[in-house]
Structure 1
Amino acid sequence: MVERIAPVLVFLIAVTVIAELADQAKVFDVAAREAAHLARGRVWRLWLLVVALATGLTIVLSLDTCAVLLTPVVLSMARQLNIPPKLFAFTTVWLAGTASLLLPVSNLTNLLAVHPFRELNVSYLSVSWRPAIASIVITVLVLAALFHRDLPRKYDVPATPHVEDKVLFWGATAVCVLLGPAFVSGVQVAYPATIGALILAGLFAVRRRSALRWSLLPVKLVVTVVVLFTVVGFLSSHGLEDVLRRVAGTTSELRLSATAAVGANLFDNLPAYLAMEPVASDSPYRMMALLIGVNCGCLLTLWGSLATLLWRARCDAAGVSISWWSFLWRGLILTPLVVAGAVLALNR
């Protein structure tokens, strides 16, 4: 168990430090402004660029980065441009979930799944790319349908955000860009993430030491992950696996995904994955069906994933009210479509 959890915790700490320091270096603010400039005053173009940015951030720097750091940027941008903010709020949180299938680094559940995939001698990406593309496309189509009245709007292009330290900005930008190929190179993802975090910490130590605080470290999140591992391990050793095997079945991937989605929405996606991994670990397709359920299917309740809870807090801080019912009824439209579509796209 320690061998599995240690690299995940190291990656989680490192990528959180990278994301926080990149945010302080104004990487995300500049990216959002450039998106507004490239869209040339049309909301539908701006939305498509935010879709691309949210998808890229989720894939390369994990769903937490997208949900936690991009959300306040796009909400602030929407407020400045006088655009209804819920279009961008739901774009970030939904794509944070549904775009997190592609790479192991995109979600903690995927990182945990790397071990079973290796034991099955199957490349993660060889199984994930079809359902990942399907889940992203379905999410974008549902967003366009639900918010179609906002897309024809126009806006005035804002000024470029001031960058106090261009060395920090370009250094952080380079680290974020280089992490992409590093994460898909086959190297244990904790290594490039740690190197990137150390490089940025070194730059900030020289240029802006005051930014290096202990609060950069996601202590509460790390403790939560350790507790979840412990609790699920205890329950699994006392009969939980047998119950889940009966509920999820042994043949239908859609049934497995649906069971995983229900568990994620009731108890959070990380413990749902940990509890159900033994039920799915005999097949790479069942493993991917499990990930579809916990990653894409957790978008019904505000506690379905830690990223969603953090996203809700950022929305509240920005003055954007998202009630549980507002989140639920939209999720009831997206979740069945994206889970079923991604499972069908597995295409054995």
Structure 2
Amino acid sequence: MALIVALAALAAVLVFALVRPRGWPEAVVAVPAAGVVVAVDAVSWADATAEIRSLAPVVGFLAAILVLARLCDDEGLFRAAGAFMAHMADGSQHRLFGSVFAVAAAVTAVLSLDATVVLLTPVVLATARLLRVPPRAHAYATAHLANSASLLLPVSNLTNLLAFTAAGLTFLQFAAAMAVPWLIAIAVEFALLRWLFAADLTTTPRRPAADEPVRPPRFAVAVLALTLAGFAVTSLFGLSPGWAALAGALTLGARGLAARGTTLPRIAAALDLPFLVFVLCLGVVVEAVMRNGLETAMRQVVPAGTSLPALLGIAAVAAVLSNVVNNLPAVLVMLPLVGAAGPVAVLAVLVGVNVGPNLTYLGSLANLLWRRVLRRDVGDRADEGFTEFSRIGLCTAPAVLVAAVTGLWAGCRLLGL
């Protein structure tokens, strides 16, 4: 009975997150679902609070990075990115596509996939409108890179932070291990999406009457650079990278408030407190499912060891699980199962839960946010629904996953991990 209740609670939370009727936040169902699994003793109160405490540093970092990304937007960083992409097009959609890839990969790595989906995607769509070119190829580039290009740093994705803790690596060791799979994932995504959207990319961009000057906000860029360095420094002292993100957010926030470039309500909105509560409650529900049978069942299908076939199997299981229950619950399920095998197995899980979500909308919350942004800015002209998203994902995700895991295996062997 406890397992049935826990599975029903997880299904309710995920379905509500997918549909979000009337735009209600995910926490509307996640909070009572967590309460139900505790009430029926599917997970004890002590275990539920322990899970919340373990997730608290990760959620704290997420809050800081969301605010930091919004303040960078207020400083004009993403407007400058749009101007850069339009300037780089110079009459060629292939150059525009390349610049979208470069910007999306950098934003995802440094400011997390949420910044790419929520802040960069509207800029990319606006740039496509300005140049009068079909937006689909460029929109799908931001969607896929929000997932695939989030492999590089512990701060690039919420799943990375969870894996970072489990892997026992320093910030620089994590980045070194994931650099090769990150580059490979981006290269394979670029080649395949360029092939899939070849017809759309034949349209010649209109040259704007006057190019907007590319003027990146120097203060914001400097704060970002120092924040990135702070991630590495905090790791060396065993501190959460959230402290570096908080310092960056406080610095930009103080400047924005002093210059009246932002407001306290805007900063509070960027925190997205209902989403943070949702993440904590989702962790409790997943813990209940794990304790009532899922962990035992999953141990039968997750390969053991760190050989290339084993790593490919681990990543494949993680990818499939991501598209069944979403990548955040998937990583919470997978990490305890592979932790004993060492950091390489943990990083293979990460490839699966970051690349795999490109198969379906349900694969990651970023996909759902991207779809919402697309429909708000472009309507149905750029989004042909679940079938179209999955068709493109089937053409890219398996190849990217195999290539990235192979790169991970080879790179970690060279690093001695």
Normalising by the smaller structure, the TM-score range is over 0.9
CA offset digits 1:206-236 (Å, max 9, x no partner): 1116532121211122011101211122222
Partner of 1:106: 156
Q: Structure 2: which 5+ runs fail to align?
A: 1-50
Tell whether 2:134 aligns with 1:84: yes
Cα offset for 1:21? 1.9
| Residues 89, 205 of structure 2: 8 Å contact kept | no
Cα offset for 1:88? 0.7
Change (3 A) 1:16 1:161: farther
Name the aligned partner's letter for residue 370 of structure 2: W
Partner of 2:258: 206
- Alpha-carbon distance in structure 1 between the residues aligned to 2:197 and 2:137: 6
CA offset digits 1:56-94 (Å, max 9, x no partner): 001111111111111000001101211100111100010
Which has the higher mean CA deviation after the structures are superposed, 128-137 or 102-111? 128-137
Tell whether 2:272 aligns with 1:218: yes
| Residues 172, 232 of structure 2: 8 Å contact kept | no
After superposition, residues 114-153 of structure 1 pair within 5 angstroms as: 114-118=164-168, 123-153=173-203
- Alpha-carbon distance in structure 2 between the residues aligned to 1:84 and 1:13: 34
Name the aligned partner's letter for residue 241 of structure 2: V
| Residues 43, 155 of structure 1: 8 Å contact kept | yes
Partner of 2:224: 176
- Alpha-carbon distance in structure 1 between the residues aligned to 2:187 and 2:395: 15
Q: Structure 1: which 5+ runs fail to align?
A: none
Partner of 2:302: 248
Name the aligned partner's letter for residue 292 of structure 1: V
| Residues 117, 123 of structure 1: 8 Å contact kept | no
Name the aligned partner's letter for residue 345 of structure 2: R
Tell whether 2:104 aligns with 1:54: yes
SS in structure 2 at match of 1:247? coil
> Which residue among 295, 298, 313 is the counterpart of 2:354?
295
Change (3 A) 1:41 1:270: same
Name the aligned partner's letter for residue 33 of structure 1: A
Partner of 2:406: 344
Change (3 A) 1:142 1:177: same
- Alpha-carbon distance in structure 2 between the residues aligned to 1:89 and 1:121: 31
Change (3 A) 1:263 1:219: same
Change (3 A) 1:339 1:210: closer
Name the aligned partner's letter for residue 70 of structure 1: L
Which has the higher mean CA deviation after the structures are superposed, 215-224 or 145-154? 145-154
- Alpha-carbon distance in structure 2 between the residues aligned to 1:120 and 1:101: 15
Cα offset for 1:149? 2.4
After superposition, residues 288-327 of structure 1 pair within 5 angstroms as: 288-321=347-380, 322=383, 323-327=385-389
| Residues 168, 343 of structure 2: 8 Å contact kept | no
Q: TM-score, normalised by structure 1?
A: 0.92
Partner of 1:21: 71
Change (3 A) 1:144 1:254: same
SS in structure 1 at match of 2:397? helix
Which has the higher mean CA deviation after the structures are superposed, 324-333 or 128-137? 128-137
Q: TM-score, normalised by structure 2?
A: 0.78
| Structure showing greater Rg | 2
Change (3 A) 1:109 1:53: same
- Alpha-carbon distance in structure 1 between the residues aligned to 2:276 and 2:221: 26
| Residues 47, 88 of structure 1: 8 Å contact kept | yes
- Alpha-carbon distance in structure 2 between the residues aligned to 1:89 and 1:178: 30
Change (3 A) 1:83 1:339: same
- Alpha-carbon distance in structure 2 between the residues aligned to 1:234 and 1:122: 34
| Residues 85, 127 of structure 2: 8 Å contact kept | no
SS in structure 2 at match of 1:250? coil
Tell whether 2:396 aligns with 1:334: yes
Tell whether 2:298 aligns with 1:232: no
Which structure 1 residue ranges, 4+ long, deviate > 4 Å from structure 2? Answer: 119-122, 159-163
Cα offset for 1:2? 5.0
| Residues 127, 284 of structure 1: 8 Å contact kept | no
Cα offset for 1:177? 3.7
Name the aligned partner's letter for residue 66 of structure 1: T
Partner of 2:334: 276
Cα offset for 1:139? 0.8
